[in-house]
Structure 1
Amino acid sequence: MSAVKPGTAEQAGLSRSALYRAARQGRLERIARGIYLPADAPVADWDRIEAATRRPDATICLASALAHHDLTDAIPIALDVAIPRGTRTPAGRGAIAWHQFDRATFDIGREEIPNPGTDQTIGMYSPERSIADAFRLRGEVGYELSREALKEWLRRGGKPARLMEIASRLPRAKSPVLRALEALA
């Protein structure tokens, strides 16, 4: 089941008052401000559900995407989520770090994956896009994250040509990725 919001309660067969009554009675669980799941719903990542519910174009990026692809041992303290630049950043109390990426390059390396525990999907950047983003935003995410992810990706048989194709399409990514690949060769 998808998350239910007061604005979408009617689509789930509930009035707003029935939604709040179900939450008070324990049949629905409030996972974030204005977002509810059935109390018997399977275990799920509430931050991912909140991000996908608040922004249908939400895309997991940077350290969170690298961790999803098992390219880093770092455990992100917040879910890194990209949204197109110029759109409203959602308010919320969840552990979500919202990042605004250029609209022209937003869909490069983006795919939809299922959001476990719900019938929702959420965007996820490919390993190549995530590595290129880590290099271009290395001042923000740390220099070690990008190098560690690149080494692991290459060890698993990653294709440098595919990485360079994506890095060439992103601002400030091509040169640092190329230098790192040359240093590791």
Structure 2
Amino acid sequence: MDVDSLMPKLFQLNAIFTTSEAKAVGLSKYYLNKLVAAGEVARFGTGRAGVQLWTNESYSNDDFLAIQLRYPKAVISGQTALSWWHLIDRQFTHLDLTVPRGYRIPTEFERHIVSIHHVDERYYPIGLTSVRTEEDSGSLNIYDPERSLIDAFRFKTIAKYDRNQAVRNYFQSELCDPLKLSRYINELPGRSDLQKITEVLSH
């Protein structure tokens, strides 16, 4: 089977994929190595438990997806999540990730400085959702707007201006769900966050 005939199978995969995912669409390791030799695929490194990761070269800059595959429990949060949901105008200068307490993840990557936020296992799933990458090349774990808004007041790395802008934009947007926001605040530690949010709205 020549490289051209393998390409339709390759296009069925995400930008970054595992050997088993490739095998499921009919690309054995032999064919993957053939694609590597042709410059269509590159070895990306290893994920959890030593799983081999591969990438389509044209999508190799998809850093979020790369981090997600290497560290499946990492959740985009804080300033990064607020930017994703268009609740702040500022482009993130670092990457906020939340992980369960005890989960190890580095704080530096090739293109990003990362702030790691550790939470108790019971708080980790609150507001956890999944979105497609901007390139539609895979799924990312991210906290929903309500959890992101609360975390904006819990993370010391987020500027006051960004917190206030996020609150105002949230309550003026179609994302707004005050009942969900109130429920999260009651479930998460630091209930004074609700008072801080309402103080922003009163000014």
Normalization by structure 2: what TM-score?
0.72
> Is contact 2:36-2:42 (8 Å) kept?
yes
Q: Secondary structure at the match of 2:157?
A: helix
Distance 2:40 2:78 in 1: 36
What is the CA distance between 1:92 and its match in structure 2? Answer: 4.4
Q: Kindly report which structure 2 residues correspond to 1:14-163, keeping only aligned pairs within 5 A, or say none.
A: 14-15=28-29, 19=32, 22-29=35-42, 33-34=45-46, 35-39=53-57, 46-90=62-106, 92-95=109-112, 97=114, 98-117=116-135, 120-137=138-155, 139-156=156-173, 158-163=176-181
> Is contact 1:135-1:146 (8 Å) kept?
yes
Letter in 1 for 2:76: I
Q: Secondary structure at the match of 2:17?
A: coil
Distance 2:143 2:154 in 1: 15
Q: Secondary structure at the match of 2:83?
A: helix
Structure 2 residue runs without a partner (length 5+):
1-12, 47-52
Distance 2:109 2:200 in 1: 42
Normalization by structure 1: what TM-score?
0.78
For this pair of structures, how many residues does the alignment match?
179
> Is contact 1:60-1:82 (8 Å) kept?
yes
Larger RCO of the pair (alpha carbons < 8 Å, separation 6+)? 1
> Is contact 1:28-1:38 (8 Å) kept?
yes
**Structure-2 residue corresponding to 1:165:** 183
> Is contact 1:45-1:116 (8 Å) kept?
no
Structure 1 residue runs without a partner (length 5+):
none
Q: Secondary structure at the match of 1:141?
A: coil
Q: Secondary structure at the match of 1:140?
A: coil
Distance 2:36 2:119 in 1: 36
Letter in 1 for 2:125: D
> Is contact 2:185-2:193 (8 Å) kept?
no
> Is contact 2:164-2:200 (8 Å) kept?
no
> Is contact 1:44-1:117 (8 Å) kept?
no
Distance 2:198 2:60 in 1: 37
What is the CA distance between 1:66 and its match in structure 2? Answer: 0.7
> Is contact 2:17-2:54 (8 Å) kept?
yes
**Which of the pair has more CA radius of gyration?**
2
What is the CA RMSD across the aligned residues, in angstroms? 3.0
> Is contact 2:75-2:97 (8 Å) kept?
yes
